[in-house]
Structure 1
Amino acid sequence: MGALGEAHLSATAVVAACDYYEEEEEEEEEHDVVEAPVDAMEPAVRALLLGLGEDARREGLRRTPKRVAKAFRDGTRGYKQKVKDIIQGALFPEVGVDKRTGSAGGTGGQVVVRDIDLFSYCESCLLPFSIQCHVGYVPSGGRVVGLSKLSRVADVFAKRLQNPQRLANEVCRALHASIQPAGVAVALQCRHIPLPENLKCETLQGWISTSHSSCSGIFEGENSSFWNDFSMLIKLRGIDMERVSHSASISWCPLRSCEVPICNGHGKKATINGAISPKSVPAPSNMVSAVSSMLLSLGEDPSRKELLGTPLRYVQWLMKFRACNLDVKLNGFKLNNFSVCECPAGDAIDHRAIHSELHLPFCAQCEHHLLPFYGVVHIGYFSSGDGGMIDRSHFQALVHFFGCKLQVQERMTRQIAEAVYSASRGGAIVVVEANHICMVSRGVEKLRSSTATIAVLGQFLTDPSAKAHFLHNILDATGLAI
C-alpha cells in the first residue's frame, strides 16, 4: 500500500485560503449583477491556462476562468465609482475654537486617519500590491468630513490599475477638490511581491517596499509646520515617512526590469553588457493577445502609454508557473513507488537523529485565482540507515519544483512530504506557512491572514514526541515563546 494508505496527512489551516471562498462565491454569484462582459474575460483566461500546458477542464481549474474574471472586475471597480457620490452629504459643521486662541475642530485643527489597508493592481504587471495609506487634512469653513469617507475615497482610486505615486496624487487631488479643506496630505507605504527567484528566507513577507507622498494647500512648502505635524502623527504609529516626491516615471515593478516595452506583444529585451538578460522569458503571442482582450473587457485601453508591455509582463510572470511533467526524479529524490516503514510502538526514537531544514522560501501560483501565494517551508526527516543528511540546496530545489506551477497549498504540502519520505525512508514532516494574495486582494479582504498546513509520514506519525520536537524547533528558530 502507498504512503497515503498507511500514513496520516493532515491540513490545519489558520485561515483557509481558497476553499473558504467556494460556497461564498456561489452565493454571491446568485445576487451579483454582472456589469462587465464576461464573454471576453473567461475565454482569455482559458487561453492562458492552455498556454501554461494546463487542462482547463480538470478539477480545480474548471471554475478558474470565472473566478479570475470576477477578481479582476472587483479589483478595478473604482473605474465605475465617483468621489462626489461618496462625499455628498458627508460634510458636517464643527465650530472649533476662536482663531485667536489656537486651532481645533473645524477651524484649522488637523485630522489624520492612519493605517488604511488597501490593495491595488499594478498597471505594469497586473499583480496586486498592498498599500498602507495615511490621510490628513485641515478643515476650512467650519466643516469636517465623515472619517470613513477618507478611506472610501482612497479605495476608489486603489481599485484601478495603478502605480503608487499616481495613486497618492489622485487621492490628494480628489479630497482637496471635494471637501475644499485648507490642505490635504497623503502618505503611502506600498509593497510589491518580488520575482520568485528573488524571495529570501530572512524576510517572510518578501515584498519590495516603497514610500510615496502627495500634499496640497497649507501642507505644501519645504518648511510647512502642518506637514511636520502630519509626519509626527503617523510616526507615533512607528511609521517613519520621508518627505520624498517619487516620480511616477520611476518603475518600482520588478517585472519592468525584464524588458523595455515597445508595444503590446513585442518588447526590447533587457541586456547586460550587450548580452540578453536571463530574466527575459519568451511569451506566446496568443497569450499576450488574451491579456490585451482582458484589459479591453475591463474598460481599459491597452495602447495607453502606461500599459504598453503590461500584457507581455503578465504572461512572463505566468510562464514561471507553467505545467511540468518531470515527476520521476529531482536531485536524487524518487517521487513515486514508495511505502511507509512504521516504527514499532515500543522502540524509543533518538531525537538527535531528527534533521531539520527550516524557512525554505517559495512562491507558487494559486490555481483557483491565478494569484500568487508565498511563504516558507519547514522540513523534518529521519535519515536513512547510513545516517547521511540531505543538502539544503536539494530541499530548496524540491520546494521550487513543487511551488513553481499552478498549485494549492494543501497539495504542495503533501507532495513535498511524500518526496522527502521517499528519500529518507524513516519519516518526514512538512509545515508550510503561506500568505495568499487571493485572501486580501479580492472582495473579502482578510488582511494579515496566513495559512499553515502540515503533513506527517512514517516515524513522525507513530511517535508524537518526535513531531512535537520538530515543531519546537520551528518555534525556537522563529524566536516565539510557547
Structure 2
Amino acid sequence: MGALDEGCFEVDVGNDVKLGIMSVCEDLDDGEEVLEEDGGIAVIEDAVKVLLQGLGEDVNREGLKKTPLRVAKALCDGTRGYKQKVKDIVDGALFPEAGVDSRIGHAGGAGGLVVVRGLDLFSYCESCLLPFKVRCHVGYIPSGQRVVGLSKLSRVSDVFARRLQNPHRLANEISAALYNSIRPAGVAVFLQCWHIQFPEEEDGHAQVFSSEEMHGWKEVPVRAGSGVFEDEKSNVWTDFSALLKFKGVNIEKAQVKQPVYQSWCIAGSKELCNGHGAKNGFNSRNATKPGGTNQSAMTSAAISILHALGEDPSRAGLAGTPHRFIQWLTNFKRSSLELKPSLFGNPNSGWQSHNGNGKIKNLGNGYMSNLCSELNLPFWSQCEHHLLPFQGVVHIGYIADEEQVVVERSSMQSLVHFYGYHLQVQERLTRQIAESVYSVFSRGVIVVVEANHICMISRGIEKVGSSTATIAVLGHLASDSEAKAKFLQTVSKRSASGS
C-alpha cells in the first residue's frame, strides 16, 4: 500500500501505547450543510438506528451517537441525482461553432469527435448499497454546428452516477441523456467501474493487498453508444478508442451487453442471493442471522431507506437489496465472536520454536536479533462511523524472551480477524491487536495497520487509492529507535514489492 511513505504523527494515549494517526475517518460534520427540509435524512437516521439495534449495538455509545446522521447525510448526498434534471444543466450550455464544410472533413462543430477523459465519479451499488468507484470517459460528435460546454459532460454524468446503479445502466443512461439533450450525431460512453472485494478465507489462503492503487477491487469496464455510436463496429468507435489509448485506457474488453447478474458485487453473487453459501468474499459461516423479529425490523428499515432515497424497492434491480444489505451488515454482528481466540490464552496452542530449540539469543540491551515479525496479515472490517467497510493489512513485530517461542502465522491471522469482525475504527483495531500481542510478548510490540477506507469515496472526499496507516508501539520498542526503524524498514520493503 505504500502508506508508510506518506508520513504520520504519533500521539501518546497512555500505558506506553503510541499511535501514529493519518486522518482516519475525518469527521465532516463541521461545516457540512444539512437540508432540514429534507425529510429523507430523518427517515434514514431512524432506519439506521434500527439496523444498529438489530446488530446488538447501543446506539447511544460513543462512536455510534452520530453514525445514523453520518450515514443518512452520505446516502442523501450520494444519491442526489434523483432530484436533478439534465435539462437544467444543459439549457444555455450550447454554443455555435462553425467548423468546416462537411464535404471536406470533420472538425469542431461540423462533426469532429470531442472526448473528455478521466472523469472521477462514484455511485452506489444497487445490489448491496455500497459505494463504487467510476472513471468516466465521454465522447460526442457535434451536429448543427453547436458544441456543449465541456463541464456539462461531467455534470450530466454525475447526475446519473449519484443514484443507485449498476455499471451497464449507468453507461446507458449517461449516453441516452446526452444524446437526447444536446442532439449530437452520436455519444460514446466508456466506464471503468471498481467494486470493493474481500479476501476469500474459506480455503485458508486470504488475499494479500499490495501497493497497487485498486488492488482488492473488482473492475468492470462497460461502454454504451447512441446515434452513430450505436453500431459497435463503426469507425467512430475506432477514433474514440484511439484517443483514450493516448492516456493508457483500453476499451477493447469493455462489455456492451449486461450479463444476467452482476458477479462483481460482493453481495450480489448468484450463490449468495439463493442462500447457497459464500462467494466473492462473503463468508456465510461468519454471518450471524438475526432472530425473526430483528430480521423483520431490519429488513423494513432497509426498505424505508430505499423509499427515502426516492427509489422503488420493488423494481427488478432492488428486489433483493434489503436482504443482501442485512446479510452484509450481520457479518459484523458483535455476538458472532464473543471470545478471544484461544491460541493466546493457551501458550501450548499455536506456538512453534523460533530456531528449533525454543531459545532466542539475548544480546544485552539490544533487541534487534530478538525481533520477530509477521507481515501482510489481511483483514477487513466495518467502520462504525459510517457503516462502510475498510480493508488492508496488519504488520506485527514483537520481542521474544530467551525462553519464548513465536506464534504461528495462522494464529496471528486469527487474532487479526477476531478484532476485524466488529464495527470498528482503525485506531482502536491497531491498539487492540498490539495489546493482545503485548499480553504475551511483554518486552516489546509494534503493530502497523494499513487500510483503504471506502468512506473516502462517498463522503465528499472522493479519493480512491488513498490509504491510512496507524502505528501502536508498546514496551521496549517505544524507546529502542534502532529496532523500531529496522522493523518499519522491513515493512516498507515488503509493501513496495507487493509480497
- TM (norm. structure 2) is 0.85
- Report the equivalent of 1:234: 244
Distance 1:189 1:11, change over 3 A: same
Q: 1:466 aligns with which of 456, 469, 483?
A: 483
- Report the equivalent of 1:8: 17
| Contact 1:36 1:73 (8 Å CA) reproduced | no
Q: 1:141 aligns with which of 127, 138, 144?
A: 144
- The one-letter code sitting in structure 1 at the alignment partner of 2:327 is Q
Structure 1 residues 377-386 or 59-68, which shifts more?
A: 377-386
Question: How far apart, in 2, do the equivalents of 1:170 and 1:248 lie?
Answer: 17
Structure 1 residues 169-178 or 424-433, which shifts more?
A: 424-433
SS at match of 2:224: strand
- Report the equivalent of 1:370: 387
- Report the equivalent of 1:339: none
- The one-letter code sitting in structure 1 at the alignment partner of 2:99 is G
Distance 1:279 1:453, change over 3 A: closer
Q: 1:23 aligns with which of 23, 30, 38?
A: 30
| Contact 1:357 1:392 (8 Å CA) reproduced | yes
Shift of residue 271 of structure 1?
Answer: 6.6
- Report the equivalent of 2:340: 329
- Report the equivalent of 1:264: none
SS at match of 2:406: coil
Shift of residue 379 of structure 1?
Answer: 1.3
Q: Deviations over 1:412-447 (max 9, x none)?
A: 111111111112222111111112121211234244
- Report the equivalent of 2:359: none
Distance 1:371 1:232, change over 3 A: same
Q: 2:467 aligns with which of 450, 469, 472?
A: 450
Q: 1:399 aligns with which of 406, 410, 416?
A: 416
- Report the equivalent of 2:8: none
Shift of residue 182 of structure 1?
Answer: 1.1
Residues 167-206 of structure 1 aligned to structure 2 (within 5 Å): 167-195=170-198, 197=200, 200-203=207-210, 205-206=215-216
Distance 1:223 1:325, change over 3 A: closer
Shift of residue 194 of structure 1?
Answer: 2.1
- Report the equivalent of 2:75: 72
Question: How far apart, in 1, do the equivalents of 2:451 and 2:284 lie?
Answer: 30
- The one-letter code sitting in structure 1 at the alignment partner of 2:164 is L
- Report the equivalent of 1:385: 402
Residues matched between the structures, number: 454
- Report the equivalent of 1:340: none
Question: How far apart, in 2, do the equivalents of 1:381 and 1:280 lie?
Answer: 32
Q: Deviations over 1:294-350 (max 9, x none)?
A: 111222121112111110100100011111485663142259xxxxxxxxxx95424
- Report the equivalent of 2:320: 309
| Contact 1:363 1:404 (8 Å CA) reproduced | yes
Question: How far apart, in 2, do the equivalents of 1:300 and 1:367 lie?
Answer: 25
Shift of residue 5 of structure 1?
Answer: 4.2
Do structure 1's residue 255 and structure 2's residue 267 form an aligned pair? yes
| Contact 2:261 2:269 (8 Å CA) reproduced | no
SS at match of 1:99: coil
Distance 1:202 1:73, change over 3 A: closer
| Contact 1:134 1:186 (8 Å CA) reproduced | yes
Distance 1:202 1:450, change over 3 A: closer
- The one-letter code sitting in structure 2 at the alignment partner of 1:477 is R
Question: How far apart, in 2, do the equivalents of 1:277 and 1:453 lie?
Answer: 30
| Contact 1:185 1:219 (8 Å CA) reproduced | yes
SS at match of 1:167: helix
- Report the equivalent of 1:88: 91
Percentage of matched positions with identical amino acids: 54
Q: 1:57 aligns with which of 47, 57, 60?
A: 60
- Report the equivalent of 2:6: none
Q: Deviations over 1:56-83 (max 9, x none)?
A: 0101111111111111111111100000
- Report the equivalent of 2:458: 441
Residues 241-320 of structure 1 aligned to structure 2 (within 5 Å): 241-242=251-252, 243-247=254-258, 249-252=260-263, 253-257=265-269, 268-270=274-276, 282-283=289-290, 284-320=295-331
Distance 1:196 1:128, change over 3 A: farther
- Report the equivalent of 1:131: 134
| Contact 2:41 2:76 (8 Å CA) reproduced | no
Structure 1: give runs of 5+ residues left out of the alignment. Answer: 262-267, 336-345
SS at match of 1:177: helix
SS at match of 1:247: coil
Question: How far apart, in 2, do the equivalents of 1:314 and 1:60 lie?
Answer: 22
Distance 1:259 1:391, change over 3 A: same
Do structure 1's residue 214 and structure 2's residue 243 form an aligned pair? no
Question: How far apart, in 2, do the equivalents of 1:329 and 1:99 lie?
Answer: 74
Q: Deviations over 1:189-211 (max 9, x none)?
A: 11111245466104563111111
Structure 1 residues 311-320 or 210-219, which shifts more?
A: 210-219
Question: How far apart, in 1, do the equivalents of 2:373 and 2:96 lie?
Answer: 63
SS at match of 1:37: helix
Question: How far apart, in 2, do the equivalents of 1:21 and 1:222 lie?
Answer: 44
Distance 1:321 1:384, change over 3 A: farther
Q: Deviations over 1:117-175 (max 9, x none)?
A: 11111111111111111111111111111111111111100111111100000000001
Question: How far apart, in 1, do the equivalents of 2:227 and 2:339 lie?
Answer: 65
Distance 1:313 1:398, change over 3 A: same
Distance 1:227 1:286, change over 3 A: same
- Report the equivalent of 1:356: 373
Question: How far apart, in 1, do the equivalents of 2:374 and 2:37 lie?
Answer: 48
SS at match of 1:19: coil
- TM (norm. structure 1) is 0.88
